[in-house]
Amino acid sequence: MVRTSGLILIGYWDGPNTTPGWPRPERFVDTTWDVDDRDMVADYLARGHVVRAYMGYSDYRLCGERNGTLELTDGTFVWPEGLRHYVVEHTLRLPDRFVEHVRTRIEGLETAARDEEWWRTQ
């Protein structure tokens, strides 16, 4: 089931064009983070459903490159498509709550029972 309300926002940062109170990406840099966990989260962030497309670009806080314009969701969390860039290119480690959510979601899908009957009867 995919929830469509109450999405938990992650990956928006403090910057020159934002309202105050967002986290600063520098605080999340962790070059020692487990490579497999980083890859798992990076892949997951690339596979969200598009919920919104913004007009115009924003810039990455840490390098000034042009960020994406899409907002993605998995039905629980919602994040800007550029969040993956921070994880991959700037070695940000996202909070454990999100990492464990990703792990649980992936493992749940990989081990889920499969109902083949419906499709066989089409």
Residues near Zn ion (CB under 5 A): 60, 63, 65, 89
Tokens for 15, please give them.
Answer: 């910057």
Comparison of 8 and 63: residue with beta carbon closer to Zn ion:
63
Q: Rounded to the nearest whole angstrom, what is the least distance from the CB of residue 60 to Zn ion in the complex?
A: 4
Backbone conformation region of residue 116, classed left if phi is above 0, alpha if psi is from -120 to 50, else beta: alpha
d(CA 122, CA 111): 25
Of 106, 3, 13, which is closest to residue 58 (Cα–Cα)? 13
Minimum distance of Zn ion from residue 67's CB (angstroms)? 9
**Cβ-closest position to Zn ion:** 63
By C-alpha distance, which of 13, 82, 100 is closest to 45? 82
* Residue placing its CB nearer to Zn ion in the complex, 84 or 101: 84
Q: What are phi and psi of 18, to 5 degrees?
A: -115, 160
Residue 89 Cβ vs Zn ion, minimum distance, rounded to whole Å = 5
Residue 50 or 63 having the CB closest to Zn ion: 63
Q: Which is nearer to Zn ion, 48 or 82 (CB)?
A: 82
